Structure formats: C-alpha cells, structure tokens
Amino acid sequence: MKILLNNNDLNEAINNVSKLGFVPTMGSFHKGHISLIKKSKKECNKTIVSIFVNPSQFNSKKDFDKYPRNIKKDLSILRDLKVNFVYLPSKKNVYHSKRSSKIKLNKKDQILCAKFRKGHFEGVIDVMDRLTNLIKPSKIFMGEKDMQQLYLVKNYIEKRYKSKVVPCQTIRDKRRFALSSRNLLLNNKQIKKARNLINHIFKFKNRLKNKKNILKLLQQKRSDLNKLFDVKVEYLELRNFKNLKISSKTKNSKIFIAYFINKVRLIDNI
Ligand code: AMP
C-alpha cells in the first residue's frame, strides 16, 4: 500500500492506472467504509482511499475539532484490505487553487440537511470537485447512508467528469442502527436510545403503507419521537429516493430523519 502525502506523490502513483476506484472518506473507519472499499476493489483494477477531514463542510470549528480521528487504526485496516493507495492530503494540497466560481445549491436542493446546515453541501461539493479533478477516477464509491450528499455529488460530478458515482447500500449493526463515525461520540446509553428510535421508525414505515394521511402522520410522529426518546428531531420527511421530492406514498420512498441526541447530530434514511 502506497501512502501519498502530497499531490506530487499522488500524480506519480496514479499516472497510467486504468479503471481506478476512489473511496473518499473522513476516516475513523467502520464496516460502512469497508464495504465501499470492498466494492471498489471488486469493480476496479486499483483502489485509492482518501482520508481528509474537510474543514469547509463543518458548520462550526467545535464540530470540526471534535470529529473522531483514528489515523493509525485506519491505516492498519487499509493495509489488511490490501488497498493500493491511501491519499492523506493537507488542507493546502486540496485547496491549492481558487475557484473560478462559487458553488451554489439550486433552490430545489435546499431541503433536508441543506436547510439546516448552511454551506455544508457547498463544502462537500467543493472538496469532491477538487479531489475528482486531482484523481480522475473511473468510479467513486459513496454511501446511501448520506443519501442527499450522494444525490448532490452524483449530479455535480457526472455532469463535469467522466467518473461515475456508485451508490453503496447502508451498513447497519445487528439492531439496524446505521454505522457512522459520529457514533463514536455517543455513550452506550445514547447508542441504545438511537437503536430504539431507528427500530421505531422501521416499524412506523411499515405501518404507513397504503395510508392516505401520511404527511399528518409524519408530523405527529415527529413530536412523539421527541417525547418518547428525549431527542430533538430536526426533520422527519418521506421523500422519493430518486429525486428527493416529497412523497405521499411509501413506494420508492424513504423516511429521512435528522435528530440530535444531546449535542450529537445523526442522520438516516429508512
Ligand atoms: P465519511 O467518512 O463519514 O465522510 O463517509 C465516507 C463514505 O462512507 C461516504 O460516502 C458515506 O456515505 C459512507 N458511509 C458512511 N456510513 C456508512 C454506512 N453505515 N454504510 C455505508 N456507507 C457509509
């Protein structure tokens, strides 16, 4: 495994690689990341994984500072997986040039997390644009756990590059709670609470089938969740998973949720 610490190392290593698979990450690996890497290894000749905690996608310096980092453990996981390249850029490596035009979300995209985390997706798209431009992979592997991110990045990147963005299914623990690096910020009691809440939503979604007053039921459920689980639900919406439009039928739709357990913000789609 080659560890690439700057853009010269990167260019030298990936020059001439055909069918390169790219897995962008912020590190602190769990089985979700590992599933993306395995898919890339299966579908591509070589795989490059980046670990970069991108400051421009965080809403506060505090959130950025407390984001979990485990670089030693991550490198050992990547070695075991026999990944070809790991790219560990500095902020300067990624942001070495100024953008010619600012990234702006369309009005129709200012929904779900974009509504509550101003500037977040602009930061994500900016870094993905820069990384794709540096790496020029054939395929980029991204998780459905972050469905809105996947949707926005796929639309942006596939319009501008030859790279294809490949959706990868959400990996959950035995109790169906989605794995996330942010789960490391939760204590056992809080994890238990999140698991119960997510199981509650799975059951609720089943009961929504063929119901006519779905919007009202969602509204009611949202306030019930706050009371039942002592959380703060930011949004709870049923949306079509292809175009993210509000849906009144469960077919081709998922329940999108963002909620806070104490100060930790979690998202999922079910
Ligand atoms: P992150 O390191 O959190 O930025 O995530 C890197 C990639 O892993 C993103 O494409 C995420 O959507 C994906 N990912 C995160 N959690 C999961 C999960 N539980 N299952 C599948 N993919 C995931």
Let me know whether 134 and 203 are in one domain: no
Q: How far apart are CA 200 and CA 180, in angstroms?
A: 19
Residues 6+ apart with CB under 8 A from 127: 24, 52, 54, 56, 57, 94
Let me know whether 206 and 121 are in one domain: no
Let me know whether 156 and 191 are in one domain: no
Let me know whether 124 and 243 are in one domain: no
Pocket test for ligand 1, best of 35, 151, 168 (most atoms within 8 A of CB): 168
Structural domains of the chain, count: 2
Q: Measured from the CA of 29, which atom of ligand 1 is nearest?
A: 2
Whether residue 175 is contained in a domain is answered as no
Let me know whether 76 and 28 are in one domain: yes
pLDDT interval class at 73 (50, 70, 90): very high
Give pLDDT, residue 124: 98
- Residue 40: name the closest of 52, 53, 24 by CA: 24
pLDDT interval class at 95 (50, 70, 90): very high
Give pLDDT, residue 211: 94
Let me know whether 160 and 229 are in one domain: no
For residues 131-142, one letter each, b for 16 or more C-beta atoms within 10 angstroms of the residue's C-beta and e for the rest, the string is bbebbebbbbbb
| Å from CA of 32 to ligand 1 middle | 6
Q: Measured from the CA of 171, which atom of ligand 1 is nearest?
A: 20
pLDDT interval class at 165 (50, 70, 90): very high
Let me know whether 21 and 131 are in one domain: yes
Give pLDDT, residue 242: 95
Whether residue 217 is contained in a domain is answered as yes
Beta carbons of 166 and 44 less than 8 angstroms apart: no
Let me know whether 147 and 203 are in one domain: no
Let me know whether 71 and 10 are in one domain: yes
| Å from CA of 212 to ligand 1 middle | 34
CATH number at residue 197: 3.30.1300.10
| Å from CA of 33 to ligand 1 middle | 6
Whether residue 259 is contained in a domain is answered as yes
Whether residue 174 is contained in a domain is answered as no
- When pLDDT is averaged across residues 158-183 and rounded to a whole number, the result is 98
Beta carbons of 165 and 159 less than 8 angstroms apart: no
pLDDT in tens, 202-244: 999 999 998 999 999 999 999 999 999 999 999 999 999 999 9
Of 108, 134, 168, the domain-final residue? 168
State whether the Cα torsion 80-130-63-189 is positive or negative. Answer: negative
Of 143, 168, 193, the domain-final residue? 168
The string of DSSP codes covering 120-153 is HHHHHHHHHHHHHHHH--SEEEEEGGGHHHHHHH
pLDDT interval class at 168 (50, 70, 90): very high
Kindly state the tokens that stand for 111: 């929904």
CATH number at residue 102: 3.40.50.620
Pocket test for ligand 1, best of 22, 25, 166 (most atoms within 8 A of CB): 25
Whether residue 173 is contained in a domain is answered as no
Let me know whether 138 and 254 are in one domain: no
Q: How far apart are CA 92 and CA 74, in angstroms?
A: 22
Residues making up the chain, counted from first to last: 270
Whether residue 205 is contained in a domain is answered as yes
Let me know whether 81 and 144 are in one domain: yes
- When pLDDT is averaged across residues 88-99 and rounded to a whole number, the result is 96
Beta carbons of 122 and 165 less than 8 angstroms apart: no
| pTM given for the model | 0.98
Closest residue by Cα to atom 14, ligand 1, is: 143
pLDDT interval class at 176 (50, 70, 90): very high
Let me know whether 158 and 197 are in one domain: no
Of all residues in the chain, the percent with pLDDT exceeding 70 is 100
Q: Measured from the CA of 179, which atom of ligand 1 is nearest?
A: 19
Pocket test for ligand 1, best of 146, 166, 175, 181 (most atoms within 8 A of CB): 146
Whether residue 16 is contained in a domain is answered as yes
Beta carbons of 121 and 38 less than 8 angstroms apart: no
Residues with CB under 6 A from ligand 1: 25-26, 32-33, 35-36, 142-143, 145-146, 168, 170-171, 178-181
Q: Measured from the CA of 35, which atom of ligand 1 is nearest?
A: 21
Residues involved in catalysis: 33
| Å from CA of 180 to ligand 1 middle | 7
Whether residue 206 is contained in a domain is answered as yes
In the chain, the amino acid numbered 205 is K
Range of the domain at 119: 2-168
Residues 6+ apart with CB under 8 A from 91: 55
